[in-house]
């Protein structure tokens, strides 16, 4: 990311030459500059959602012990938890989500998601993009030819006003085995479609986002001079390198300065404007406060916000799964996710905001010798709410042991198609890769029974 202050060989107005020339860093602000590559058939006839809030619960949350319990299965399968009734007749979830049990009329459960990939990184790529990774069952690194994340696609098809980033990621990016998981970024759409990533912990006292916090020593008039300086340096680069990307970066640069000069996003990220009672209701955890930030960004007009579960424990429960879920993971998840659904409803935002809560796979039916469950993509559950999705619905079923779909199987690509359909984007719409080849945004079909 380009910084307005930094050390080393400074130009006269405070920028280093290295910072001025690092055009690609501006993409960290999620600033799309538009494209001359058209998206065929982008407008669909789907739902009424205007924005997307994607909650990434990485690690493989256990469908057996959370959303799709099997109380009649043998003990080595059913586990320690019991199901409880929700406020929707016939729908039961774990006893450790009492708040969400009272809100089942607000969300839909898709209990028949299935695919063949048991690798954290490659399977999460499918959750982020709606496409299978070409190297399944691995933890691959990101590549320039990756499919773009949902937010990058939506920002590319529907550019926003200059001061509103089309795609913001709260909670940093997800990593596994030291590698950033692919599919969270712009992929082949290029730097201009990158998300603005917020790594800082919103639960930390004095939370602030340095990239959008103006330096008191840099008044607006000085920022304007820097903009002119940057333009003159780019003109020199254009003459010497004749780079095709410079024209695009002109618009990206302009948008970056517009964002830095705008107070709208900065105000959304200032949690001092949020009532203490509301912050307490979400829970004073990283996840809870991240969801507040996500809701505030939606209110500020950001069309796609992803919130990554971070710093709150590990859902990859190969051992001691029951105490981990009961004591560490499910209570804050229940408190925060239920508060979000209630808050979006009370503020009149749920109808226009599609909420997707997804992991990459579930856990094995049989409990292992370490009292945990291992990776299992044979069937698992995802949750959708708002944006035209009918609450209280259950799509599909798993079999008696929670091993495979028993009815109406769907894949991550169908979840993607449902998401795009809800946002009024035709799933058959096309975008172009780096070789300018037209590619569909998803190969799936919308789950129309949810609408």
Report pLDDT digits (tens) over 40-87. 556 665 678 999 999 999 999 999 999 999 999 999 999 999 999 999
In this predicted structure, the answer to whether residue 350 has a pLDDT above a threshold of 80 is yes
Domain ranges of the chain: 31-209+269-450
**Mean pLDDT score, 327-332:** 98
Write down the pLDDT at residue 219.
61
In this predicted structure, the answer to whether residue 97 has a pLDDT above a threshold of 70 is yes
In this predicted structure, the answer to whether residue 269 has a pLDDT above a threshold of 80 is yes
Write down the pLDDT at residue 209.
87
Write down the pLDDT at residue 284.
97
Write down the pLDDT at residue 161.
78
User: pLDDT per residue over 100-143, tens digit each?
Assistant: 999 999 999 999 999 999 999 999 999 999 999 999 999 999 99
Cα 438 from Cα 433, distance rounded (Å): 7
Write down the pLDDT at residue 17.
39
The residue with greater pLDDT, 271 or 259, is 271
Write down the pLDDT at residue 253.
60
The hierarchical CATH code for the domain 31-209+269-450 is: 3.40.720.10
**Mean pLDDT score, 223-247:** 53
| pLDDT averaged over every residue in the chain | 86
SS (H, E, C) the chain: CCCCCCCCCECCCCCEHHHHHCHHHHHHECCCCCCCCCCCCCECCCCCCCEEEEEECCCCCCHHHCCCCCCCCCHHHHCCCCEEECCCCCCEEECCCHHHHCCHHHEEEEEEECCCCCCHHHHHHHHHHCCCCCCCCCCCCCCCCCCCCHHHHHHHHCCCCCCCCCEEEECCCCEECCEECCCCCCHHHCHHHCCEEECCCCCCCCCCCHHHCCCCCCCHHHHHHHHHHHHHHHHHHHHHHCCCCHHHHHHHHHHHHHHHHCCHHHHHCCHHHCCHHHHHHHCCCHHHHHHHHHHHHHHCCCCEEEEECCCCCCCCCCCCHHHHHHHHHHHHHHHHHHHHHHHHHHCCCCCCEEEEEECCCEECCCCCCCCCCCEECCCEEEEEECCCCCCCCEECEECCCCCCEEECCECHHHHHHHHHHHCCECCCCEEECCCCCEEECCCCCCCHHHC
Q: Is the CB of residue 114 less than 8 Å from the CB of residue 360?
A: no
Record the pTM: 0.85
Pairing of strands 92-94, 51-56: unpaired
Name residue 363's beta-bridge partners.
375
């Amino acid at each position: 990311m380009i910084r307005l202050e930094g050390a080393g060989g400074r130009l006269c107005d405070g920028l280093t030459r290295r910072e001025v020339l690092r055009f690609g860093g501006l993409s960290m602000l999620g600033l799309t500059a538009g494209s001359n590559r058209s998206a065929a058939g982008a407008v669909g006839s789907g739902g009424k959602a205007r924005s997307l809030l994607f909650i990434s619960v990485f690690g493989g949350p256990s469908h057996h012990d959370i959303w799709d319990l099997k109380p009649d299965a043998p003990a080595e399968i059913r586990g320690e938890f019991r199901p409880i009734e929700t406020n929707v007749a016939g729908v039961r979830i774990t006893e450790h989500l009492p708040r969400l049990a009272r809100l089942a009329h607000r969300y839909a459960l898709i209990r028949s998601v299935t695919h063949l990939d048991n690798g954290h990184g490659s399977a999460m790529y499918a959750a982020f993009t709606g496409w299978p990774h070409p190297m399944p069952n691995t933890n691959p690194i990101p590549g320039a030819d990756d499919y773009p994340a949902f937010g990058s696609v939506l920002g590319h098809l529907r550019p926003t006003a200059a001061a509103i980033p089309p795609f913001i990621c709260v909670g940093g990016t997800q990593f596994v085995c030291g590698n950033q998981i692919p599919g969270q970024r712009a992929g082949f759409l290029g730097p201009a479609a990158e998300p603005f990533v917020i790594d800082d912990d919103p639960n930390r006292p004095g939370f602030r986002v340095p990239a959008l916090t103006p330096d008191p020593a840099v008044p607006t008039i000085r920022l304007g001079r820097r903009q002119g300086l940057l333009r003159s340096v780019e003109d020199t680069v254009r003459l010497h390198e004749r780079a095709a990307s410079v024209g695009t970066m002109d618009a990206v640069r302009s948008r970056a300065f517009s964002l830095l000069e705008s107070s709208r996003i900065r105000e959304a990220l200032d949690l001092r404007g949020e009532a203490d009672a509301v912050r307490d209701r979400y829970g004073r955890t990283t996840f809870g406060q991240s969801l507040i930030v996500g809701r505030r960004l939606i209110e500020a007009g950001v069309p796609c916000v992803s919130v990554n579960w971070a710093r709150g424990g590990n859902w990859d429960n190969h051992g001691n799964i029951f105490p981990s879920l009961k004591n560490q993971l499910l209570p804050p998840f229940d408190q925060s996710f239920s508060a979000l659904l209630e808050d979006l409803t009370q503020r009149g935002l749920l109808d226009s905001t599609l909420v997707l809560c997804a992991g990459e796979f579930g856990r094995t039916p049989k409990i292992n010798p370490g009292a945990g469950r291992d990776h299992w993509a044979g069937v698992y559950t995802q949750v959708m709410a708002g944006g035209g999705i009918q609450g209280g619905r259950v799509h599909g079923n798993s079999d008696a042991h929670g091993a495979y779909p028993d009815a109406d199987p769907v894949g991550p690509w169908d979840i993607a198609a449902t998401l795009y359909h809800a946002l009024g984007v035709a799933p058959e719409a096309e975008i172009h890769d780096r070789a300018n080849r037209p590619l569909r945004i998803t190969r799936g079909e919308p789950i129309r029974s949810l609408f």
